[in-house]
Homo-oligomer: A and B are copies of this chain.
Amino acid sequence: MSQSTMSRPAVPVGWLKLALTPGLGPAAIDRLGVEPEQWGELHQRSLAELRQLGLAEPQARSLRQPDPELLERALAWLDHPRHHLLTRIDPLYPPLLARIDDAPPVLFVNGDPGCLPAPQLAVIGSRKATRGGLEIAAEFSARLVQAGLTVTSGLAAGVDGAAHSAAIEAGGRTIAVAGTGLDQVYPARHRDLALRIVDNGAVVSSFAPGVGPRPGNFPARNRIISGMSVGVLVIEAGIRSGTLITARLAGEQGREVFAVPGSIRNPQARGCHRLIRQGARLVETAEELLEDIAALVGELAGELRARLDQDAESGEPDTGLVEDSPAARLLEAIGYDPVSVDGLIERTGMSTREISALLLELELAGHVSPQGGDRYARC
C-alpha cells in the first residue's frame, strides 16, 4: 500500500531504526548480505545474530535500541500528514534510485511521495551563478516541467533555487534533495522556497530529523539527486565546484550529463566546458534536451523492464513496445479519466514497480500525463 493514500500506514519502525544507527549507511547494510525485504525486521534479531552478520557491537546495539532522543524526534516529525518515511522496498521508492549502488535504505519525505516515481531531470549548478545563469536555469526548468518532467535539485542557493522556483511558477512539480534532516532547512533563506516545494512536489532526505548540514552529507545528497534522475543538466559551474563532483557521480551511475556552454569570459562556464570536453552533451535549448531525454527514458525504461522480467524469472524477455508489450497492456488499462497506481495494479495485476517503470516510458512518449498525486490519464 502506498504512503500517499488517505489512511496513514504505521511508521516502519525497523527501517527507521536502521536509518538512526550511526555508521550503518547503504554500503554497510548491503555488506550484511541480507535481502532488502528483511531489512525492516533486522532490529528484532538478537545481539548475537546481528554480530554474526558482521555488525560491530555498538551498531548492533543501536539497531536494536537507538538513541531514544533521536527516535523520539524522528517519530514526532513523522507524526504529520505530509511527512513520510519511504523504504527501499516501497512501491513509490524512485525506481532509478533503487538501481544504483548504495541506494539509501530509507527516504524521509516532506510533501507528496507520489511524485517520486515520475521521470525526473536534475537541474544543478553553481551557488554563485551569474544572473544570466539563473535566467537560463529558470527557462530550462520551466520548459522541462511543461513537457511533463519533474525538476530535481539540491535546494542550494544559486542555480538550484532558480530551478525549483521556476518549476513551481510554471505549474510543474519539483523535488528537492536536502543534505540535512527535514526538521531544518539549509540554507535558512530557502525556508519559504522549501514550503512551496512541499506544496508542489517533495523535499527529500536520507538523513533523519536532527541531522545538521555537515559537509560530509553533501556527497550522499548529490548521489540521490543524480540517482533519482534520468539525466543531469549543469547550467553553470566553477572549475572546482561541488557541481562537477555531482556530475562525475552521475556519470558513474550511468546517467547522461548535459551541460550548457557559456562565454569563455564567464568563470562560471568553465565547469560546463570541462564537462563537455569530458563527454557531456552540449545543450543550447530545452527542445534538444527533451529529444535526448525521450531517447534516454526509452532506454532506461527498457533496461528496467528487462530487469523486472529477469527478476520475475520470466522465460520470454521483452523485445520492445510491440502490440502486446507490457507498456501497451498498461496503456490499454489507462483511460481518459485519471487512475491511480493502485487502480492500475487492480486492473493489470502488474507490480507497482513495474507500473512505475512503464508509466515513465509512456509519459515521455506522450501517451499519458500525470494528474497529481500518483494518478495518470491518457493524453
A261 within 8 A of B: yes
Interface residues in A218-276 by Cβ distance below 8 A to B read 260-266, 269-270, 273, 276
Q: Which residue of B lies closest to A133 (CB)?
A: B263
A208 within 8 A of B: no
Which one of B132, B273, B282 lies within 8 Å of A284 (CB-CB)? B273
A151 within 8 A of B: no
Chain B residue contacts of A269, Cβ below 8 A: 261
| Identical copies of this chain, number | 2
CA distance A276 to B284 in the complex (A): 12
A277 within 8 A of B: yes
Chain B residue contacts of A261, Cβ below 8 A: 261-264, 269, 273, 276, 282
Give chain B nearest CB distance to A63 CB in angstroms: 50
Q: Which residue of B lies closest to A284 (CB)?
A: B264
Give chain B nearest CB distance to A141 CB in angstroms: 15
CA distance A264 to B277 in the complex (A): 17
A155 within 8 A of B: no
Give chain B nearest CB distance to A155 CB in angstroms: 25
CB 8 Å contact bits of A100-140 with B (1 = contact, 0 = none): 00000000000000000000000000000000100010000
CA distance A296 to B265 in the complex (A): 26
> B282 to A277, Cβ gap below 8 A?
yes
Q: Report if A276-B270 is in contact (Cβ < 8 Å); known contacts: A136-B264, A263-B263, A264-B261.
A: no
CB 8 Å contact bits of A15-42 with B (1 = contact, 0 = none): 0000000000000000000000000000
CA distance A264 to B132 in the complex (A): 10
Give chain B nearest CB distance to A22 CB in angstroms: 44
CA distance A266 to B269 in the complex (A): 14
Chain B residue contacts of A277, Cβ below 8 A: 281-282
Chain B residue contacts of A263, Cβ below 8 A: 132, 261-263, 266
Interface residues in A276-292 by Cβ distance below 8 A to B read 276-277, 281-282, 284-285
CA distance A300 to B269 in the complex (A): 32
> A132 to B260, Cβ gap below 8 A?
no
> A276 to B282, Cβ gap below 8 A?
yes
Give chain B nearest CB distance to A143 CB in angstroms: 13
Chain B residue contacts of A266, Cβ below 8 A: 263
Give chain B nearest CB distance to A142 CB in angstroms: 15
CA distance A270 to B282 in the complex (A): 11
Give chain B nearest CB distance to A279 CB in angstroms: 11
Give chain B nearest CB distance to A273 CB in angstroms: 6
Q: Which residue of B lies closest to A283 (CB)?
A: B264
CA distance A266 to B265 in the complex (A): 13
CA distance A138 to B61 in the complex (A): 69
CA distance A136 to B263 in the complex (A): 10
Give chain B nearest CB distance to A292 CB in angstroms: 11
Give chain B nearest CB distance to A107 CB in angstroms: 34
Q: Which residue of B lies closest to A239 (CB)?
A: B284
CA distance A132 to B265 in the complex (A): 9
The listed residue with most B CB atoms (<10 A of its CB), out of A261, A277, A282, is: A261
Known: A262-B263, A277-B281. 7 other contacts (CB 8 A): A132-B263, A132-B265, A261-B263, A261-B264, A262-B264, A263-B266, A277-B282
Question: 21 A-B contacts, Cβ less than 8 Å apart?
Answer: A132-B265, A136-B264, A261-B261, A261-B262, A261-B263, A261-B269, A261-B273, A261-B282, A262-B262, A262-B263, A262-B264, A263-B263, A263-B266, A264-B284, A270-B284, A273-B282, A273-B284, A276-B276, A276-B282, A277-B281, A277-B282
The 6 closest A-B pairs by CB, nearest first: A261-B261, A264-B284, A263-B263, A277-B282, A262-B263, A276-B282
